[in-house]
Chain A
Amino acid sequence: MIYHPHLRISSAWAFLAPALLLIAVFFFLPIFAALLLSFTDFDIYALGDLDRLRFIGFSNYLQLLQSPLFWTALGNTFYFVIVGGPLSVAVSLGAALLVNAPLTRFPGFFRAAFFLPVVTTLVAVAVVWRYLYHPRYGLLNYLLSLAGVDPIDWLGDPDWAMPAIILMAVWKNFGFNMIIFIAGLQNIPTQLYEAARIDGAGAWRQFRYITLPLLGPTFLFVALMTMIGYFQVFAEPYVMTQGGPANRTLSVVLLMYEEGFRWWNMGYASAVAFVLFALILAGTLLQLKLRQREPS
């Protein structure tokens, strides 16, 4: 080699420096600061004058645990994750199986069409769905009325608001996971299916004993990513319901936004953010653990 190894090492750091510096200053430093902030009473007065800032230990967290609003937001977010997440994954898998089947001609067309909602702007389509959900003029209630169903006040009824938001969210993002499932399906060797067919296995048994097990790693990835994303739900309730009716669609991130950027209770809001982080971390570890225990 003509060039000097130490020269290469220093140029490696030169290539890395801009990215690492930016990520350190604008991501890791704020994360660390958020942790500190969550132990302070940072509020609108501290925003003007930092001398008013005090360390208050775990008070924010204790206050949080005693706040009914926080528990409501937590319950709503879990509702969204536990119902919306699996529903979204199931629809994605169904769409992937449909599009990927040998029976389907023009799979590229269907794939692109099902994917279209993913590339749309969430705020814009949330606005569109607000009108589709309109109790009097909305398309959805009109279609239901053809089947004899009475009009539903989708976004105004406390019991229907969250299901309505979930439905919209699933419509918006099932296409993303569909693409990943299609990639997973295409990685399964076709010889396996041929061998199964020779052994007389029907379509269901082929699906149950070949497709599903071999899709395992894809499934884990999709489930994890969907869960992490769904825990962060914000724009849908912000645009469609503002957290209402009766706080039934208030999510944890929406609560954090309201507390932090509307009332400037930044210490308290940081504690909310860290609870969200802890939940996502716990959910991730739990899913990884469950996967490991499962016999392959």
Chain B
Amino acid sequence: MNRLINRLLPALWYSLLALGLLLTLTPLWWMIAASLMPPGEATSYPPRLWPSAMTFEHYRALFTRLDLARYLLNSTLLASAVTLISLLINSMAGYAFAKFRFRGRDRLFQSLLAALVIPAQVAMLPLFLLLKQFGLINTYGGVIIPGMASIFGIFLIRQYLLAIPDSLLDAARMDGASEFRIYWSLVLPLCRPILVTLGIFTFMGTWNDFMWPLIVLTDSAMQTLPVALANLLGEHVQDTELMMAGSVLTVLPVMLLFVVLQRYYIAGIMLGGIKG
């Protein structure tokens, strides 16, 4: 009896895993397959999981007829700018919270953390009015500027730096290095792993964000890929293959980024998850 269970258990276990794999990957598989099908084939019945003849015409249509290159550029530009600027600003603040002693530090940090419960949508209506005052509606700045600092980013950097001994920094201070120099040429290199992690988080978060770009970038030439894709759906809902090509194009850059840098990404979730 026990022998039988020992023989069957792995088989049962792996069929569960395989089922999970199938459920997780089938939608993504179908998205890619349908994007390569000749027109009309994605709406044939029974559904096909593989194109009868592979074609890239839908991708070509996206770039020639629908000018998706423009949105690809917008998304890339916005996500890169937010990532680079926010890494700089958040790492400075995280460094200050981790390695400087000043009055009210812990209370200030605690109240920032408590503010994480506030849903971002509460701020959106006045934020829109504020940016309108500054003339930032329909500009890249409307997306970049509110994303330049994040409480979560500051938190992540601080946690990481707490584990680094002060003696290292004190030695540099004894040598007479200026505070900014210490930050730039000592702290930042030390933070490299966590900067990569936070960088991926920020890039993906900005790339995938939908609601705020939808609100603030009303002019169609300024839109990001997700917003453009949602608009495309309105006009081309019957064009299944075309829509799937658009979805692949939107998803692919972030998926590649994840596959290449997944070690950093997953480590970041664990750090945020356990210590939070």
User: Which residues of A line the B interface, CB within 8 A?
Assistant: 2-3, 8-9, 11-16, 18-20, 22-23, 25-31, 33-34, 37, 95, 98-99, 101, 103-104, 110-117, 119-125, 127-132, 134, 136-139, 142, 171, 175-176, 179-180, 183-184, 187, 218, 221-222, 228, 231-232, 234-235, 238-239, 253, 256-257, 260-261, 266, 269-270, 273-274, 276-277, 280-281, 284
Contacts and interface: CB of A to CB of B under 8 A. Distances in A.
Please indicate which of the listed interface residues A2, A25, A123, A176 has the most CB atoms of chain B within 10 Å of its own CB: A123
Given A2-B174, A30-B126, A171-B27, A122 B183 contact: no
Given A121-B208, A124-B247, A30 B123 contact: yes
Contacts of A179: 266, 269-270, 273
Nearest to B90: A19
Please indicate which of the listed interface residues B28, B123, B270 has the most CB atoms of chain A within 10 Å of its own CB: B123
A222 B274 CA distance: 10
Contact of A183 (B225, B258, B273): B273
Contacts of A136: 45
22 contacts: A16-B92, A26-B149, A29-B126, A31-B123, A117-B27, A120-B208, A120-B251, A120-B255, A121-B226, A121-B250, A122-B226, A123-B208, A125-B31, A127-B229, A128-B27, A136-B45, A137-B42, A171-B27, A179-B273, A232-B119, A234-B211, A277-B122
Closest 4 pairs between A and B when the two form their complex, measured CB to CB: A12-B100, A19-B93, A33-B126, A30-B123
Interface in B22-37: 23-28, 30-31, 34
Contact of B100 (A8, A37, A238, A270): A8
Given A29-B130, A261-B128, A274 B13 contact: no
Nearest to B178: A11
Given A19-B92, A180-B270, A116 B27 contact: no
Contact of B10 (A103, A120, A256, A284): A103
A116 B122 CA distance: 30
Given A116-B255, A139-B26, A280-B117, A31 B122 contact: yes
Interface in B8-25: 9-10, 13, 16-17, 20-21, 23-25
Nearest to B35: A128
Given A23-B151, A37-B126, A260-B125, A116 B100 contact: no
A42 to B, nearest CB: 9
A11 B13 CA distance: 57
Nearest to A137: B43
B221 interface: no
Contacts of A33: 126, 129-130
Contacts of A183: 269-270, 273-274
B55 interface: no
Given A27-B123, A37-B126, A11 B117 contact: no
B95 interface: yes
Contacts of B176: 2
A27 B255 CA distance: 30
B154 interface: yes
A185 to B, nearest CB: 11
A221 B274 CA distance: 9
A116 B25 contact: yes
B145 A128 contact: no
Contacts of B100: 8-9, 11-12, 15
Contacts of B149: 18-20, 22-23, 26
Given A13-B102, A125-B247, A171-B23, A26 B145 contact: yes
Given A111-B266, A120-B208, 9 more contacts: A16-B92, A22-B148, A26-B123, A30-B127, A31-B122, A138-B47, A171-B24, A257-B211, A277-B118
Contacts of A111: 266
Nearest to B263: A108
A284 B113 CA distance: 14
B215 interface: yes
